[in-house]
Amino acid sequence: MKRKLILLTCFMSILCLLLAGCRESSSSASSSTDLPSSGPLTINPKIQDKEILSKGPHGETAVSAKTLKLSEEDIKKIKKGNYKAAIVMHYAGNDYSTAQINGLKAAFKRMGIKVVAVTDAQFKAEKQVSDIETVLAKSPDIIVSLPVDPVSTAEAFKKAADAGVKLVFMDNPPAGLKPGKDYVSVVSSDNYGNGVAAANIMGKQLGGKGKIGVIFHDVDFFVNNQRRAAFETTIKEKYPGIKIVGSGGITNPNEGERVASGILARNLDLDGLFGIWDVPAEGAVAAARTFGKNNLVITTVDLGTNVAAEIASGGIVKGLGAQLPFDQGIAEAILAGKSLLGEEVPPYVAVPGLSVTKRNVLDAWKLVYHQEAPDIIKTAIKQ
């Protein structure tokens, strides 16, 4: 009996290892995002070259990420340095963050730069400060990060800069730090342009008339401020028949349903809602269904799985402005590489955005994530 138990235990252990191996293999196969092994390193040349509407955090004119390039010779020089990089995320639990990390890893791999850490602050400034301290112990040459709070994380990032670490920021720099002195550059999507795209989709869906609400980010978050300003300005100037009758702020992504419910309770005749990004917009979808508002028009920014499936099925979310986070990661890595080579770089770089509706959602997913759309979205579009 004892021998049988030992054999059974061994069998189960082997089975678990095999299953784990299958899961890992399947995951890596479905998320293959390798870049070409030769030629210059650039963002995807298929991205449309269009005017960037966003300004930088200090009012800088944006330089398009399509102009960035590392030559084969540049890459060879960088490889000789045996450099290390760390990715210090504000939040790593959504499609946007995963794509950013994948883009950074793919570009750093091409450049021969070892990624020694990827951290997730879970939208908590104190955790990100701790993450920075932990990462600095690994002596990285580069840190790429999005500060959770530009004020409370500033001291920790300044410490990294003073230690000689090349800092490249996603979307938002820490307060008080200067480009070219304390950090290399800031890279974002054209968030103002994406806010405009969300407003135009709303305006067209409502035929230029109706009452709408806005769910905004109630934190001094530079890129989200741009999205809100772009959406509200476009509605007021281009669609005067649409009135913004209610708004509410969130401080974390999971408050979307509560805030949307409050707006709907005060405005039962509401025709539309704008969510500052996809996760709060998902909460707005849940609130709309609770209120029986199945004809509500919701638009947002960021192409997440759930909102993409909603768009594909012709549901409540009608469209959005999409960032291109994989290519944003490539742009951040290129800027870090140029800094290592001693090159001067622009203080603010933006990746062109993308307007997404049911008409182009499958193609958009492939452009945004460098992968085919998940089955849930492919199935939804056939309904």
Q: Based on the domain organization, do 158 and 275 belong to the same domain? A: no
At 36 the pLDDT is 83
H or E element that contains 182:
none
Burial class (CB in 10 A: 0-12, 13-18, 19+), 168: buried
Q: What is the identity of the amino acid at 179?
A: P
Q: Answer yes or no: is 73 within a domain.
A: yes
Q: Is residue 48 part of a domain?
A: no
Check: CB of residue 201 under 8 Å from CB of residue 320. yes
Quick one: 297 and 263 in the same domain? Answer: yes
Structure tokens at 83: 């450099």
CATH number at residue 101: 3.40.50.2300
39 lies in some domain: no
**φ, ψ for residue 40, nearest 5 deg:** -65, 155
List of residues 6+ apart from 28 with CB closer than 8 A: none
The pLDDT of residue 220 is 80
Residue by residue, DSSP assigns 327-358 as HHHHHHHHHHHHHHTT----SEEEE--EEE-T
Burial of 97-112, coded b for 16+ CB within 10 Å and e otherwise, reads bbbbbbbbbbbbbbbe
In this structure, the answer to whether residues 311 and 241 fall within a common structural domain is yes
Residue 304 amino acid letter: G
User: Are 282 and 229 contained in the same domain?
Assistant: yes
pLDDT of 75: 98
> Are 342 and 363 contained in the same domain?
no
State residue 197's pLDDT score: 97
Same domain, yes or no: 269 and 369: yes
Whether this model's pTM surpasses 0.85 = no
- The count of structural domains within the chain is 2
- Whether residue 23 lies inside any domain: the answer is no
Residue 300: strand pairing partners? 320
209 and 242 part of one domain: yes
Are residue 128 and residue 180 in the same domain, yes or no? yes
Q: Is residue 200 part of a domain?
A: yes
CA distances 119 to 75, 133, 144, 149, 277, Å, are 26, 11, 11, 16, 22
Residue carrying structure tokens 């410490």: 159
Range of the domain at 142: 63-189+325-352
- DSSP, collapsed to helix, strand or coil, labels residue 372 as coil
List phi, psi (to 5°) of 141.
-85, -25
The mean pLDDT values, 10 residues at a time, for the chain of 383 residues are: 38 33 30 75 92 91 95 98 97 87 97 97 95 97 95 97 97 94 96 97 98 94 92 98 97 94 97 96 98 97 96 98 96 98 96 96 95 95 84
Q: Are 347 and 357 in contact (CB under 8 A)?
A: no
What letters, b where the CB count within 10 A reaches 16 and e where it falls short, cover 310-324? bbbbebbbbbbbbbb
- Check whether residue 146 and residue 262 sit in a common domain: no
Helix, strand, coil % (nearest 5) of the chain?
Answer: 45, 20, 35
